[in-house]
Amino acid sequence: MTATATTPSPYAQLTGPTTVRRILTAPTTGPLAALVLACAFFSLTTEQFLTGGNFSLIVQQVMVVGTLAIGQTLIILTAGIDLSCGAVMAFGSIVIAKMAAQGTLSPLAAIGLGLLVCAGFGLVNGLLVQMVPLPPFIVTLGMLNVAFALTHIYSAEQTVTGLPAPLTALGETFPLGNTDITYGSLVTIALFLAFAYALSSTAWGRHVYALGNSPEAARLNGIRTSRLTVGIYALAGLVYGIAALLLISRTGVGDPQAGQTDNLDSITAVVLGGTSLFGGRGAVLGTFIGVLIVGVFRNGLQLMGVASIYQTLITGALVILAVTVDQISRKKAR
């Protein structure tokens, strides 16, 4: 994978001649169109799809992978990749669940420890990537196995039950009109909005894009690239910790088997959302659209009574389509 020197800056699209062109070249336009089309299709084919309750359900179903995908987006924007996110989340969730269920720590302290542990994994990933340096793919592949094994050792393969109330609070719902909204969904949406703001409107966000476009150029422009990279991995880890809490609140247990395919699912969401695997191009809100596309297809096909294997088929085809569109639009932008 070679990032070409002629990669457009993320602001290239902002200097286009017309608004129309700007909209057409924005990385989130394609995904958004796909999402709207999918929603239109399922609204026509199943009567249960177009209801507030169903949309609330979809957001609730994607909140865990969606939250993981926020961390994944940050890392992919730096042209890295994180294969360990699901396993780190699973370990965090077992730490939180076990500490609180045994009464070793108060529920809030257990949650705090879980967040710290996940951030610690991210920090180690970042240090290995930046300081040795090693390819992110290899580091996080190793960490995937480490975290997976620790999860199974620490849990002794037992699902942790009997969790105190604060751990599952985010899984509770509140009524909004005639729809039940899960608190956890709001946490995920708030995280997406916060990171969207940070990436688009702060110096830190600009530095992240600059680093993804060209680490060397970023360094020469006075950005502390080492510190920035390690920080991004650690921050991603912290976000996985939040995903761990959401996971517990959704299932009501600490499950050592959880998250085994979430690393690839989060990468899928990032790619579907128009973020480039070559770094420096994309948006966190695109990732939210990406994760919703997967959720809408799963839910819609289920409501239509289509077997789940076809959902996998369609998701795979969409990923290839998304990457193709990304490549073509990069060529056009040159």
Partner 1 sequence: MSRSIRTLSARARVTACTTVVALSALSLTACGAGAQGAGGGKVKVGLITKTDTNPFFVKMKEGAEDAAEKSGVELVSAAGKFDGDNAGQVTAVENMVASGVKGILITPNDSKAIVPALEKARAKGVLVIALDSPTDPQNATDALFATDNVKAGELIGRYAKAVMAGRPAKIAMLDLAPGVAVGVQRHDGFLKGFGIAEGDPAVVCAQDTGGDQAKGQTAMENCLQKAPGINVVYTINEPAALGAYTALKAKGLEKKVLVVSVDGGCTGTNAVKEGRIAATSQQYPLKMAAQGVQAVADFARTGKKASGYTDTGVTLVTDRPGTGVEAKDTTFGLRNCWG
Span of 66-74, 101-109, 183-191, 312-320 interacting with partner 1 by CB under 8 A: 312-320
Question: In whole angstroms, what is the distance from residue 118 CA to residue 125 CA?
Answer: 11
CB nearer to partner 1: pick between 278 and 297: 297
Q: Does 131 bind partner 1 (CB under 8 A)?
A: no
Residue number, 131 or 264, with CB nearest to partner 1:
264
Mask: binding to partner 1, 151-170, rule CB under 8 A, as x and -? -----xxxx-x---------
Nearest residue to 142 via CA among 134, 132, 133, 151: 134
Site string for partner 1, 256-275 (x = CB under 8 A): -xxxxx--------------
Copy the structure tokens of residue 30: 């394609």
> Is residue 41 part of the contact set for partner 1 (CB under 8 A)?
yes
Residue recorded with tokens 């894009």: 209
Q: What is the size of the binding site for partner 1 (CB under 8 A)?
A: 52
> Which residues from 94-123 bind partner 1, rule CB under 8 A?
none
302 binds partner 1 (CB under 8 A): yes
Q: Is 250 in the site for partner 1 (CB under 8 A)?
A: yes
CA 4 – CA 1 distance, rounded (Å): 9
Which of 246, 237, 236 lies closest to 97 in space, CA to CA? Answer: 246
Least distance in angstroms from the C-beta of 10 to partner 1: 27
Tell me which residue of 264, 263, 246, 277 sits closest to 84, measured CA to CA.
263
DSSP string covering 11-79, please?
Answer: TGGGG-SSHHHHHHHSTTHHHHHHHHHHHHHHHHH-TTTSSHHHHHHHHHHHHHHHHHHHHHHHHHHTT
> Rounded distance, CA 284 to CA 235, Å?
14
Q: Are 105 and 161 in contact (CB under 8 A)?
A: no
Nearer to partner 1, 223 or 272 (CB): 272
By CB under 8 A, what part of segment 45-74 binds partner 1?
Answer: 45-46, 48, 53-54, 57, 60-61, 64
Binding site residues, partner 1, CB under 8 A? 33-34, 37-38, 40-41, 44-46, 48, 53-54, 57, 60-61, 64, 156-159, 161, 171, 247, 250-253, 255, 257-261, 297-299, 301-310, 312-314, 317-318, 321
